[in-house]
Chain A
Amino acid sequence: MNTRNTRNTLLAAWPLLLLLLAGAGFPRTSHAAAADDLPEPFLFLAWDADVGRFLGDEADSEGPKSFAAKADGGLLILDQVNLRILDFDAAGRELPAYALPGPAFDDVGEAAGRFVLALDRLVTSTLLVYDLDGSIVTELDLVGHGIEHAGLITAMFARTDGVWLEVSHRHSVRVLDAAMGPCERRIVLGRPIEGGRSLIGKLDRPAGGATISIGPRNAAKPDATITIPGELPIRRIVQLDADAKGRVLAVVHEALFAGTTPFGVLDERYRLIRLDDRLAELWTVRSPWVLTELDQRQEVRLGPDGGVWQMFFTWEGVFVVRLDGGTP
């Protein structure tokens, strides 16, 4: 079987899939935005011409593995195949890129509006910090107190008190202080957010929902907990984060699989739920764009201004859209 043709066929089916999803009419709540209110893309990058991809042959396939929303309203796109981090301003204009020393970086971030972070979990096990001139100012070995296997790092967060790395979606380790220097490693359960608080997420098995808690870091009891029921069974928590004001974003992957072999997927989508700092729902939006065969570590990001961004792939290239149009 020609696997490349198969993949291309799958990717080429995306526009048709979008039409089908829009026509199917998702179940909605009164305050929910609809997936068929498709936003204009903020950014489009054509495969190979603008951004690299790798179509695996007895190996993993990959597109840009991560992206980040910058404090100035622009974006960083991790183009690891081409050994660079693409930089765009708030108007989508391309700025000089940051050079990567290797091809295995799989996460990117911005800290304090003046540092760029690049994480390589799998080969060099290092975190690089660039200044805005593109010079590497810190190179940190990931393995140490709180991190036994760098490959089990599941997220990276830049907060006002430094940079945190999450391990196995269970605990987070502060590895850099606010000045981007190595520091005594501090550990909290869940994901640290501003204000000395943290978020903890957990899939509800076998119910098919997800539970989110918020409270002081390492507190015995959270301040608030909610259970998000799945409209379809929730397969994965795609993102869980909070902005500087404490408002939470939870993104879940809902998928329904056939009950008989080969157990193929029947329906799937992402549901993005915005919550206030006490976990009361603000709004919900559904996105038809889900993970493709091209490996991608970060698909949805919460920007410093509270904006919600999604990066997704089609057979044409990479799209980045802002799904909220502004924070309510």
Chain B
Amino acid sequence: MKNLFACMMFCVIALPSGVSHAAPPSEPPDAIVCRGLSAVGFSYWWGGECWCSNGCAPDLVGCAPGVCTPNDGSTGCPECTHTGTYGADCSGFVSRAWQVPDPLATNACNTARYVASSFTADHEYWNVVPMNDLRPADAVASDSHVILVIGSEDAFGEHDCVEAKGCSYGIVRNSRTFSSVYSGARRINLTTCECDEGGTESENCGDCGTRTRSCTGCMWTGWSACDGPDPEGEEANCTVGEDALGVCAQGRQLCVAGWLTCSPNSPGTEVCDGQDNDCDGLVDNGTAVTLGEGYACINRCGDGVSACLDGAVRCVTPGTIWPDDTCNADDPGDPVDTTAGDGCSCTVGGGRDPGGLPMLLPLLFTFVLIRRRRARR
């Protein structure tokens, strides 16, 4: 009954017999997209088809959007009440965005329009098109709903759309998909050549990106993905903050999808470099293999073993005042001689009995462990 009432009402409004209508204006698809975007934020009004625009933006100040309220016990219109002057239902919105059956200003109310099911079949003002060939400014319709497509298909197959969705929503912009009961429609009189072949244009997007489109076959392609160059130099460094630890607390500024973001360093293998590479809060606490420890080596004092000390792999030999100091090849000072102050008495090239090394190893590991714990503190 509700639908019968709807059909009678809209048939009378949309198709008065004997009244001729002007063909829709010759215009590029962008003009329809612009008109559609200018309705976002206005209320859903069952039977309505008007709103106020300021270029491609809605004029929500000069013309206050109405309010749609479902009646008690109803989940939607037409059992609903609308207050206010402006608003549209789905087919009123698409009719006005498409300028059918008459080219009128967006704020012209109580005028002829079509119902949703009209857009599912060929018409003198539009043609049905395949759903896998939707373009901006096309409509997608079922027997009960019609939607204006304003963007090209995204990576997952959804489209950026504007629709008068229902009493609870109003006119909204959203990314959405369509079930297979929907069919596509394309208005006639779209300007066949809206740009100079080979031309390009770009615009800023996000906070570090740009996007471009080019003119192919006399029509603009869809906008490219928003992207931009990553910052360089000092601007590239950033601090992640929160509770990030070690190298993960630092990051690099990237321009991702046109937006600046601090991309934290990833946790890595703990190596001997004085940093917390695996982001567990401890410095140089890897395994002997990852730290490069335990290998036999020769330093100025003779035979030694590699150990991670103070953020560097050193060849150490216990000295006379061991374990408080060691003889190692990296000591500052005289590059040639080592002294008792270095923890051992030896000279470069001086050797020790290599047979003593195996006996020294357990002591060396204990020594290294103590040193590393001290280093963490």
Q: Is the CB of B132 within 8 A of A58?
A: no
CB distance from A116 to the nearest CB of B (A): 21
Q: Which residues of A contact B157 (CB under 8 A)?
A: 203, 234-237, 253
Q: Is the CB of B132 within 8 A of A187?
A: no
Q: Is the CB of B174 within 8 A of A152?
A: yes
Residue of A nearest to B7 (CB): A1
Please report the C-alpha to C-alpha distance between residue A87 and residue B172 in the assembled complex, in whole angstroms: 29
Please report the C-alpha to C-alpha distance between residue A184 and residue B239 in the assembled complex, in whole angstroms: 11
Q: Is the CB of B76 within 8 A of A292?
A: no
Residue of B nearest to A186 (CB): B261
Is B53 part of the binding interface, using a Cβ–Cβ cutoff of 8 Å? Answer: no
Is B221 part of the binding interface, using a Cβ–Cβ cutoff of 8 Å? Answer: no
Is B175 part of the binding interface, using a Cβ–Cβ cutoff of 8 Å? Answer: yes
Of the residues A59, A62, A255, contact of B90 by C-beta under 8 Å: A59
CB distance from B306 to the nearest CB of A (A): 31
Q: Is the CB of B75 within 8 A of A170?
A: no
Count residues on chain B whose CB falls below 8 Å from chain A CBs. 76
Q: Which residues of B contact A264 (CB under 8 A)?
A: 180, 183
CB distance from A66 to the nearest CB of B (A): 13
Q: Which of B77-114 contact A (CB under 8 A)?
A: 77-78, 89-92
Q: Is the CB of A168 within 8 A of B175?
A: yes
Q: Which residues of B contact A236 (CB under 8 A)?
A: 156-158, 177
Residue of A nearest to B154 (CB): A169
Of the residues A1, A151, A170, contact of B117 by C-beta under 8 Å: A1
Of the residues B10, B156, B182, contact of A154 by C-beta under 8 Å: B156
Count class of interface residues, chain A = 35 or more
Of the residues B7, B89, B261, contact of A59 by C-beta under 8 Å: B89
Of the residues B131, B132, B160, B256, contact of A188 by C-beta under 8 Å: B256
Residue of A nearest to B89 (CB): A58
Please report the C-alpha to C-alpha distance between residue A81 and residue B70 in the assembled complex, in whole angstroms: 12
Is A177 part of the binding interface, using a Cβ–Cβ cutoff of 8 Å? Answer: yes
Contact status of A1 and B156, CB under 8 A, knowing A151-B174, A257-B130, A262-B120: no
Of the residues A58, A186, A235, A253, contact of B145 by C-beta under 8 Å: A58
Q: Which of B131-159 contact A (CB under 8 A)?
A: 131-132, 142-145, 153-158
Q: Is the CB of A265 within 8 A of B180?
A: yes
Instruction: Encode contact with A along B174-198: 1 for CB under 8 Å, 0 otherwise.
Output: 1111011111100000000000000
Of the residues B44, B115, B175, contact of A151 by C-beta under 8 Å: B175
Is A189 part of the binding interface, using a Cβ–Cβ cutoff of 8 Å? Answer: yes
Is B271 part of the binding interface, using a Cβ–Cβ cutoff of 8 Å? Answer: no
Q: Which of A70-124 contact B (CB under 8 A)?
A: 81, 102-104, 121-123
The contact sample of 19 A-B pairs, CB cut-off 8 A, is A4-B2, A6-B143, A54-B76, A57-B76, A57-B78, A58-B90, A59-B90, A59-B145, A81-B75, A168-B160, A177-B242, A203-B153, A235-B132, A236-B157, A237-B156, A257-B130, A261-B122, A263-B184, A293-B182
